[in-house]
Amino acid sequence: MKLDSVHHLFMLVMGSTALALGNVNPAAAVSITFEGSLTNGETVTGEVSSENSIEIPANWDFWTFEGTAGSSERFTARRTSTALDPAFGIWFGTEVDTDSYSSLFGDSLNTSLVVSADDEINTPGPFGDPTVRFTLPDTGTYTVAVASFISDSSDEPLGYTLRVPFSDSATILGSGLVLGLGMLLKRRFSNFT
């Protein structure tokens, strides 16, 4: 084999390797800083970059929540900036840095995507806002990442709210407690008449 042919083969392999690596994650790994821990019945606010960051995890907002297997949850993100096109993904477990994620709609390095949401609520502006109801597969810590999908151009960070209503199990338990307390009070007061 001629030296020139070996050089061409080497350049071809190196070019293919660089191309493949470039498609894994174009941004450098950044340590994940969680915005906070979500609780049922809470609405939190956040801001994401105006860049199309669905495949740039360094631009995502990360949150965590504790969940119980079998409980039904509903998450809704609403834009507070009209230019934002929000989307989110939810994974069971957590990661240390953003290099572990390649897409808002795919598995991370160590955890599987549980559910993602985009455009379920018709909203003026680019496309819609995300909402999803799902059943938790495991008990433990979950990660929620909110991102800008295809937002209008803006130099300002784009605001959103993330709402976590009471889970169905908490609602049923709460309703049962209220009903039980009401029946107890009715019996007590009926004895006085």
Asked whether the predicted pLDDT for residue 52 surpasses 90, the reply is no
Query: If you write DSSP's letter for every residue of 109-168 in order, what string do you get?
Result: SSS-EEEEEES-B--SSSS-B-EEEEE--SSEEEEEEEEESSPPP-SS-EEEEEEEPPPH
Q: Is the pLDDT of residue 6 over 90?
A: no
Is the pLDDT confidence value at 82 over 90? Answer: no
Span 88-109, average pLDDT: 95
Residue 187 to residue 193: CA distance in whole angstroms:
11
Q: What is the pLDDT of residue 153?
A: 73
3-state SS, residue 60: coil
Residue-level length of the chain: 193
Give me the percent of the chain exceeding a pLDDT of 70. 69
Instruction: Please tell me the distance from the alpha carbon of residue 54 to that of residue 33, in angstroms, as a whole number.
Output: 18
Q: What integer is the mean pLDDT of 138-149? A: 96
Q: Rounded CA gap, 92 and 136, in Å?
A: 9
Q: How far apart are CA 180 and CA 164, in angstroms?
A: 26
pLDDT over 90, % of the chain: 52
Note the pLDDT of residue 155. Answer: 77
Using an 8 Å Cβ cutoff, are 163 and 73 in contact?
no
